[in-house]
Structure formats: C-alpha cells, structure tokens
Structure 1
Amino acid sequence: MIGKWRGPQGSSTRLGAIGQVAFWRSGWAVLGWTLLGALVRFWNLGGKPPSSIEVASIGFGLGNGFDHLPLDRLVSLAELLEPLRVQPTVGLDETIARLAAQSTHPPLFFGLMHGWLRALTPAGGLVDLATARSLSALLGCLAIPAGFWLAQWLAGHLVPPQDGAATPQPTDRPVAALWMAHGVAALLALSPYGVAMAQEARHYTLAILWAIGTWAATFGAVHRLQQGRSPGWGLGIAWVLGNSLSLATHYFCLLGIAAQGLAIGWLAWSQGRSQGWSILRGRPWRVMGVIALAQIALAAAWLPAMAGASESELTAWIREDLNPAEWFLPPLRLLAWLATMVVLLPVEQQPLPVILGSAIALLAVLGLLLRIIGPVWRSGLARPAPLWWAISIGVVGPLVLMLLSIYSDRGDLSVAPRYQFVHFPLVVLGVGLALGQRSADRAPLSIGRWQGSGRSAMVAILVVSLLGSLAVANNWGFLKSRQVDRLWDQIEGRSTHTPLLVSHIETYAEIRGTVAIAYEWQRRQAPPTRQRPAQSPNSPQFAPQFLMLQEASDRADGQAPLAQVIQQQARPFDLWTVDLSPALDLEAYGCKRAKDRRRPTGYRLRHYQCTEAAS
C-alpha cells in the first residue's frame, strides 16, 4: 500500500542501508545537488532578453532611477542607457530614496543589488545582464542546501511507523528520512519554476530563502507545542526577525506570514478541542501568544507602505476587473503554476505537434506524480501528525488568500507566475517528502498495466523536471508577455533605414520598457557568442532613435512633439510606433504604413516608411 513505509528485511539489507546512510549523510551528496542546481541556473544566464522589471531592478539597484529621462523629444541610445550605468557618486542612501519615490517595492534586495553591481562593474560601465542576474541565481542555489536541511529535520519526524511495529527499526528511519530529504533537494535543484525565478534579476529567490527559514521556525514551534513544550524565546526572535527580513524583501511575503498564523491557529484549535481549551492558558501557548503579537505588530508596521503600493498606478494592471466569462481562469492559472514547480515541457509559442506532444507527456507525468504522492499525503494527514498539516496549510493557505484577493477585486495575483514564490518552497517540500518516502519503500508500485518501483517513478519525474529546467534556461518556457528580442528581429528584418521608435508613456513602467528595448539593441551589438548569435547581415548598421511620447502630447496638430520630430528628421527613415496608435495623420507627413507580416512579440507595432517630405 502506498503511504506505508516498509523497512528492509534481513541483515545484509540492513548493512546496505547503513552504507546508504553514510553516503547520503555526507556533505558531498548535498553539494552534488547544489552544483546541479547551479549548472541549470547559470546555464545561458545572459542569453535571454531583458524584461522591463529586470531593468527596474538594475536601475533602482544602482540608485539611478528613471525620472530624469526626457519625454516628448528625441532621446539617444546613450541617454536611455544612462540609468543602467554605475555612477560612483550615488550611494546607498540615494538608492533607497529613489526606490521609495519611484517604485512599489521594499528596499532590502535593492540594497544588496547596489553592492553587487558596484563590486562587479567598473565605474561608468554599463551593467551586464548576466552579472545582474547572477545575484538571484546564487541565492537560488543557496536555497537547495537550506531546503535539504529543513527537509531532513522534517523527515525525521514524519517517517510513518513500519507495518506491525510501533516505530521503524533504527536503520530504517535514517534511510527513509534521507530519501525524503534528498527528494526535496533534487526538486529544489531541478524545479523549472525555481530556475525561472533564479534567472531573473529580481528579488524572488531572496524571498524564497526567507520563506524556508521562517517556515523552519514555524515547524519548530508546531513540533514543540505538540509535545507540550514552549517554542522558546530564541526561536521566537529568529522567527520574527526572519519575517521582518522577508517583508523588507517583498510585500507579498505577508501571505506566507498569514499562512504561518493559520498553521499555528489550526494547532491551537486542534489541541483545545482534543485536550481541553485550558491547555491554551499554559506557558507554552502564552509564549506563542507573545510571538504572535510580535508578528502582528511587525506586519502592522509595514501596512502603510503596502497600502501605498497597492494603490499605485504601477500596480494598476493587476487590479483589472475580471469579466464574468473569466471568473474560472484564476484557479486554473494557479494550478498551472503549481504544476510548473515540479515539471514543465515546451508548450508556449511552439509548433502544434510540439505543443500536443508536450501537453500529453505533462499530463501523463502529472498523473503519475499524483498517483504516487496522493496516498502518501492521505496517510500522513490521517495520522496525528501536525507537521503534515502545517505543510498542507503552507501550500493551500496562500492560494486561498490569493483567490480571496482576486474575487474581492483587490488584484488578480494569478496572472503572473512570479507571485507564486510565496508557497513555492512548501510545494517542493510536500512533493519531495512524499516522493522520497515512496522511494524508500521497496514495495512495488502499480499504475494500470505499468509496474515498477517508487524509485524508478521518482527518477522519471526528476528527468522531466531537468528537461523543463533546460527548456526554461533556453527561453522555451516561462516566456515573457513582451519579448523584446522578437521585437528587434522584426524591426531589423523590415527596416531599410534608421529606425525611429515612438513609445506611449503613462507611468514609469513604460519608460522602463523603452529602456529595456534600448538595452536589448545594445546587447545585440556585442560580439556574437554561443548565447547571442551574430546578427543578420541585412540588419541596419546604425543606432536607432527613440521618442517617448506622453499621452497628453499625442495630438493631431502640427505643433505636437511627434509632428515636430518627423519634420526635423533626415529622410528616409523607418518609423515604428510601440503600443501607440498615433492621433497624428502620418501620411500627411510623408510616412506611409508598411504592410508587414505581423509576428507575435507582445507589443502593438506599427511600421511606417518615411521617404517623402511632408505635404
């Protein structure tokens, strides 16, 4: 039966088990998973094009900001890239001040990014994208041993009793616990979602590290309270400090803190119901109450900043109302993001046969996964094991809170995978522990006509995880909604003269998006590498020009900024509008709409060829 762990039989098998413990307990095994995770995270690190949010991380990390870039006039490439250059006179205090004025994020990660970029980039130099991403990739690697050690501690308390015995045999429990811990480490190393977050110059991997640490404190408190012991002031201080650092990294960590509170609340309700409510007046729960009050005070201190972020125009895009026909989409999206935390194959913007084949393979692997871990979880939740329940609440709690936010019109947190970092460590913990427990059980596994072992099934799942991670590293998975590399493929392939790009500006987000476009063009001019192949010989060999047009400046009269720029521009040139349907009659200014074949880029592009003088 799946979910019941059967220990090895016979003395020779026990000697083999002891050998397994000796090897897998060594630091070399954990180092191996960490190196494998580093390999997939640093693979092709600078090859994928930049996104506007990564540009924001670099610019704000350097303390430069984007408010000084000129609008409604021509901007050179050098001017647009100025926020991405190291300015030796800009210190950490200016970095935090600019971040508070122009962004909606807390300062901790950007302070780390400030020191990282200044240490690895010469003064006045343009930041290399791989350098900017390497901090996040490194933090993602650190999560692997951290997750292993947490899983090893958990597994020691979660190994179920052997059939016919009150407890597992002495050599059985270490083997089972190590299989469970290494199952978690393997998934952390190979998770496609984890690789995607680690390959962005963003703060998600730092938040994931804090989540692992604070959930470790949560599990420690649950275990001690279950035994009738106090959580301890040392654990409480570390717990509160960890959550304060997590909120200083990303405000959405509040969802994880709320889930931790739900886990403790569930334990209080469970003990009060089974042992009498007077138990909650004992010293252990009084100490827990003080720790909980400290956590609430911590969250309350950040609420003004969170409220300002939620009302900012920069986050308006996640507050768009759902149409009635779209109400079923958020749960489906959340389930899809959950699946990518374990397995992924190329299904985005691929030929139809590839999409169908990948989808069928993914469904088969997910079916196998659920068939393996489902009984393990049911068995764990059926026993008096509060740690299993705490892990479950850590997975389900943030999802429920996200759905409440979505359907109360506070914001659709399902639209972007990056917001799922809150429960990512708990998903990997739960799946990895269950896979490891089933792998430690030598009983045969039967699924339909297929028969095998839990270990062979685990290997199959890890192979698909590795393929998914490589797909992500090669930009075949977790594609950005706006693909600046494809934008330049189209512009370079269709332009015959100097391109002038006109973008529509409403907030700082659009300014950063224009900087990302310029950044990608600059990167494409670097000597070709394996990650960046050579340009097409037909590409125009001159720098583009840019015009960032405010909404109020998009007018149809001859004094409008766009009209003035077109009249002053040397002809011929190619005019490209980016997410803009200009009010100006461009044909009256000698610019005719080109009949280009549209390719998916995520941008609304219009191409005009300006060859004649204005009429």
Structure 2
Amino acid sequence: MFRFLNLDLLPPWTDECATIAFSLGNSFQIVPVNEIISTEVLLAPLTPNSTATVSDVVHHLFTESTHPPVYFILAHWWMKMFSPAAGLDLIWIARSLSAFFGVAAIPAMFIFAKLTVNSTLIAQISAAVMALSPFAIYLAREARHYTLVILLVIASLTCFIKAIQLLDKRATLPFWICLTWISINCVGIATHFFFSLTLLAELFVFLGRGWSQFHKDKNLLLQSPWRRIYLVAAGTLIGCLVWLPILRSIYQSPLTQWVSDGEPRINWLEPILRMLLWWWSMLILLPTAFNNISLWVVVISGMVTILFLGWVLPKLISGLKFFAQDGENRLITQALIGYIGGAIALFFLFTYGLAMDLTLAPRFQFVYFPAVVILLAISLASCWQQLQQKSIIQAIFFIAVISGLTVVNNLGYLQQHRPDLLAPIIQQNSENSVLIATTHKHHGQTGRMMGLAWEFTYEISPKNQSKHLVSPQFFLAHRSPETRSYATSVKILSNQLTEVPFSLDLWLVDFRAEIDLEPRQCTPDSKTHFRTGEYKYKLYHCPSIN
C-alpha cells in the first residue's frame, strides 16, 4: 500500500526526468540552450514517442547518460504497454514499475531468508521489514532502477550465502547455481554499475574464508568446492569487462562529477553523519523535512529517533548474539556482517581515499540494504522466540508504520529535490511575466527545470484558474565545454533580456555565474533570496522598457 499511495503526488525530480525521457526513447538534446524557451519545449523529452524503439533507448543512454540499459529497456516496454497520455498518468506509470519491483522485493526477502536461514519466522519478519522499511518505500516510489537492482542483490546474496555454507561443509556448489549466480551478477551490472560494489563485498568475504581455510589445509583452495567459486568469479568478471569501456568514460563524465565536488577529507565528519542518517532510515524515519514542517517538529522527531535507537539497538545486538551461538548460524551471521562491513568500507574508501563522496545520496546504500534487513529479522526473531522480548517487535512495527506514512506524505529527509516547494513561491511572488534562468552543464540541470515546469503545468495551473497564473519561460545558460565558462551564455541572456520590452520577473535558480543586470534595470527583491527543496533562488524585478 505504501509503495503506491499518492504515487503521483510529487512532480518528477531531475533523475526521474532522465529515467522517463530515456525510457521513452527521447533525447535531451532536443531542448535548446542559450535561448528563451516555453514550458512545452522544455518538457518535450517527457512526451510519449510512439515511434521510438529499444534501439533509441540504448542509443540515447550511451550517448547522453552514464547508466546501463536493462531497467530503461524494461521501463520502455512498460510505458509502451500502458500507452500513457500526457499529464499525470505518465508519472504514475513510470513510478509504478519501480513500485512493482519494490513489492516483489517483499516475497524475495522471504525466499532469501527461508533458503539460507531455513526459518519460517525469520523469513516472515524479513518480508515484513522489507515491506515497512522507510528506505525501501522511498526507493520504490521513484521512477528509478534501484528496486530492480535490490531484487538482483537479494538473488546474488542468496547464492552467496549458499556458497559460504557449502564451502564450510567442503561440499561443491551445484553447477546450475553457478550459472544462475553468474547470470544474476551480469544482469546486476547491466542494471546499475554500483552492483559491482556488491560483488566486491562478496569477494572480501570469500577472501577471508579462503585465508582461514588456507591456514588449516593449503590444498583446500585447489579442490572442487573452491574451483566452482573460481568459475563463478571468472564468469562474473567476463560479464563486467564488457562494460569496461563505458565505465572508463563515466569516470570523466560531467554527469558524475557531483560526487567529487565536496571536500570529504577536510570536512571528514559530514560523510559519517550522512551515513548514520541513511542507516537510521532503514528502520525509522519520522517527520524531519525542515523545508516544509516546523523546526520544533524536526527537533522532536530527532529526539524520539535517538531515544528509540538507544533503546532498540542493544536489544537487536543481544538478539543477534543469541542467534549466532549455534555454529551454522554463526557462519551466516559472520558472512552477512562481513559483507555489510566490506560494502561500507568501500563507500568510505571511495569517499576519503578517492575523494568521491558516495555518502551524498541515500539511494546508493541499496548495495547492502538486503543484508541489513535479514540481520534485523534474525535479531527480531531471537527477541520474539528466545529472549521473550515481544514488545520490541511491536514497537518497531508501530514506528515503521509511522515512518511509512512519513515517506508517503513526503515529510522525511530522504526526498531531496522538491520542485513542488519552489513553484508555489514563484507563483505567489510574481506579478509579471516570469523567466526562470539557470546555469547548465548537462541534462541534470535540464531535469531540475523540468520538475518546475511540470509543477506549473500540471499542478499549479489547474488549481489557480481564477487567479493570476504564472506561465514561466526558461533559459538554460550552457557552460562552454571548451572554456568551461558561462561567459558567452550569460552575455546572450543579458542581450535577450534587453530585447524584452515588458515588465519581467527574473528568477535565477541554481545560477552559478555572475551576471550584470543593470542594463535591463533589474533590481533584486529583498524578500526572496533563499533556498528551498534543494533549489537556490534569487528574484529580480525588471521594469518595462519605454
């Protein structure tokens, strides 16, 4: 229910615009830069294209984006099947595919736990945690590929745990499982390149097991059980190497440079604090969206969260320790903890070692999220069954329901880009024609403006028919790839402003360049110089030219 409730309430944010446009087989290059354009022109890539094919989807992805094609191809077929008309239906259909995969992750977690831990209770709790986790609900409600890749992580982890169990018994992994595992891993890489972190984390655990067995018997690593692991590793590596040319180009792509914009080595505490927030959201997310709720509500929610975690974490740790008393259970626990620890270590290695801050976005934590879910289920099952602490499960699921409602009503901190918060501000503070200008490097900035254009077209316009209605135009000031400067585009904007004879309200949104507005006699509005919904904005009033 949480995954589909109010699914089309928010306008698409920039990454969703990219998913929808590319899945429709459209290109962002049809949107002009360095000229004033209408909302219709700006939203053209989000228009259903009946002539587009899978080849168009793949072509535009490989020439304009940094993502592998599997999810986009599936989304293309999905939207073709439902033949969405223009308007809100398109957003619902685009998001519903992700929500569908999010729902599928619930029984997938049950199967994962049942096959590996062989406990119906743990399997049921795993499914319940996946169903109610605010992090899982958040990912499922966006038109993105993260719920599909979570399914693939679950499948890969199932094979991984079975392999660990068989290695411990010195038994050979069946050949059909090897082929299945290789296929899952190859599809995972073709769905999201960060699936490679899943593979590396699994590798770390195997290296640890191999080192342990090597000290017991040096010949073990050459025997049949380990040879099957080598087969899986070789097949997976071949599936990964296919993408190596694209991965090399991604490293230098402007689309991925945002993870390198900060200075995590100097501001070293910020990534750690962000990771804590993302971890908490896997279990609890109370109203904390300070952009649209009172500060005192955020403070109270934060205090309740800290108190709740302080109460529940020791009990969860006790439950995990109780479960790990048995030999095989200890093996499973060690493998899952090793996997999670390896994945988190990779995140911090990229963040602090390579200055690529992978903690900036909560969605990247999909890599180890299913392993966290099953560990939570193991702990809760122990509390319920052995430790007789049933109140903890009741409390967690009560909080989980509140957290789900928080996500559905967009009151949490996970939803970062909110065009729906800025558009009403522009509507309320504009009395003249509106021009929204932004600096532009790639389709990421185009998508940010698309979110605003969508909100004005499909939300604000129908609700304000009897009032003064803002119908904004847009200007994308493109950065020169040769000079890496906005000077030329800013000059074009200044010249075009002088050619507009009527009164104009100019909104500079995420405008990262200096501009001289004196020739147009534009004056800043002292009341509007703020930031909301991850948008920075500044309003200028430009009088009519006699």
- Counterpart residue number, 1:222: 164
Contact 1:485 1:520 in 2 (8 A): yes
1:377 maps to 2:320: yes
Normalised by the length of structure 1, the TM-score is 0.83
CA offsets, 1:366-422, max 9 Å, x none? 123212221233344565332211111221111001111111125100011011011
Measured after TM superposition, the shift of residue 297 of structure 1 is 2.6
Measured after TM superposition, the shift of residue 322 of structure 1 is 1.6
Contact 1:506 1:551 in 2 (8 A): yes
Partner Cα distance (1:376, 1:468) in 2: 23
- Counterpart residue number, 2:478: 550
Measured after TM superposition, the shift of residue 584 of structure 1 is 4.3
Contact 2:14 2:444 in 1 (8 A): yes
Partner Cα distance (1:327, 1:129) in 2: 38
Match of 1:65 among 18, 27, 38: 27
Measured after TM superposition, the shift of residue 517 of structure 1 is 1.8
Measured after TM superposition, the shift of residue 89 of structure 1 is 1.2
RMSD: 2.2
Measured after TM superposition, the shift of residue 45 of structure 1 is 0.9
Measured after TM superposition, the shift of residue 549 of structure 1 is 1.6
Listed as ranges, the matches of 1:323-472 within 5 Å are: 324-349=265-290, 350-381=293-324, 383-384=326-327, 385-441=330-386, 443=387, 453-472=388-407
- Counterpart residue number, 2:225: 284
Match of 1:496 among 424, 431, 434: 431
1:301 maps to 2:242: yes
- Between the aligned residues of both structures, percent identity stands at 30
Partner Cα distance (1:571, 1:200) in 2: 40
Measured after TM superposition, the shift of residue 121 of structure 1 is 2.9
State the aligned residue count: 537
- Counterpart residue number, 1:164: none
- Give the match's secondary structure for 1:604: strand
Partner Cα distance (2:111, 2:28) in 1: 42
Contact 1:121 1:127 in 2 (8 A): no
Contact 1:184 1:432 in 2 (8 A): yes
Measured after TM superposition, the shift of residue 535 of structure 1 is 4.4
1:80 maps to 2:42: yes
- Give the match's secondary structure for 1:235: helix
Contact 1:590 1:613 in 2 (8 A): no
- Counterpart residue number, 1:519: 454
> Which residue identity does 1:369 align to in structure 2?
V
Contact 1:133 1:202 in 2 (8 A): yes
Contact 2:424 2:460 in 1 (8 A): no
Partner Cα distance (1:321, 1:509) in 2: 18
Structure 1 residues 359 and 339, CA gap change in structure 2 (3 angstroms): same
1:613 maps to 2:513: no
Measured after TM superposition, the shift of residue 481 of structure 1 is 3.6
Partner Cα distance (1:289, 1:580) in 2: 52
- Counterpart residue number, 1:576: 507
- Unpaired runs of 5+ in structure 2? none
Measured after TM superposition, the shift of residue 482 of structure 1 is 3.5
Match of 2:149 among 204, 207, 231: 207
Listed as ranges, the matches of 1:99-114 within 5 Å are: 99-114=61-76
CA offsets, 1:239-260, max 9 Å, x none? 0000101100100000001111
- Counterpart residue number, 1:49: 11
Contact 1:246 1:253 in 2 (8 A): yes
Measured after TM superposition, the shift of residue 205 of structure 1 is 0.2
Measured after TM superposition, the shift of residue 324 of structure 1 is 4.7
1:562 maps to 2:493: yes
Structure 1 residues 190 and 409, CA gap change in structure 2 (3 angstroms): same
Measured after TM superposition, the shift of residue 599 of structure 1 is 4.5
Give every structure 1 segment of 4 or more consecutive aligned residues whose post-TM-superposition deviation is greater than 6 Å: 123-126
- Counterpart residue number, 1:311: 252
- Give the match's secondary structure for 1:504: strand
Contact 1:365 1:461 in 2 (8 A): no
Partner Cα distance (1:64, 1:395) in 2: 38
Structure 1 residues 60 and 137, CA gap change in structure 2 (3 angstroms): same
Match of 1:250 among 192, 201, 205: 192
Normalised by the length of structure 2, the TM-score is 0.93
Partner Cα distance (2:40, 2:448) in 1: 16
CA offsets, 1:20-61, max 9 Å, x none? xxxxxxxxxxxxxxxxxxx01111111123210000000111
- Unpaired runs of 5+ in structure 1? 1-38, 157-176, 444-452, 528-533
